[in-house]
Amino acid sequence: MKIKTVKMETPEGLNIIIGQSHFIKTVEDLYEVMIGSVPNAKFGIAFCEASCDCLVRKEGNDKEMVEIAVRNASSIACGHTFVITMKDVFPINVLNAIKNCQEVCSIFCATANPVEVVIAETELGRGIMGVIDGVVPKGIEDEKNIKERKALLRKFGYKR
């Protein structure tokens, strides 16, 4: 077995969700989840099919987001995984709806941070072992950091 990491393309302002599902209709069902959750969101979805034609299936409402999702999914190249790229929306706005999609088995990450996917490869194929989401902590927050965190959450409208 070979183990390697693959860096995801995550331009400034982009959020990414990486998960695993089990069926070809995932790409269409995730499209419906996204469009129904936040109508103004720009997004792209790519799904790595694990049987039959073994294609990277794609959907979305923004050409750039679709292209980035396809590039990321193609670089992961693990069966039955999906990548959702989005802007003008945070993962928190869609994550529960995605988790409730009947084909979704698990979510590996939902983030705007730099991401590396840890992949194992065997004779059969490739699978995601996990993800590296962001960087190592640099310390412990102090009172100033706490105030900044609380202000940021209120700026985004998640707290009052």
Percent with pLDDT over 90 in the chain: 82
Cross-strand partners of 121: 2, 126
Structure tokens at 64: 């750039």
CATH architecture label of 2-156: 3-Layer(aba) Sandwich (3.40)
Structure tokens at 136: 């190592």
Domain boundaries, given as residue ranges, for the chain: 2-156
Tens-place pLDDT, residues 55-99: 999 999 999 999 999 999 999 999 899 999 999 899 999 999 999
Tens-place pLDDT, residues 113-134: 999 999 999 999 999 999 999 8
| pTM given for the model | 0.91
Q: What is the torsional sign of CA 5, 45, 135, 96?
A: negative
pLDDT score of 160 = 82
Cα 36 from Cα 41, distance rounded (Å): 10
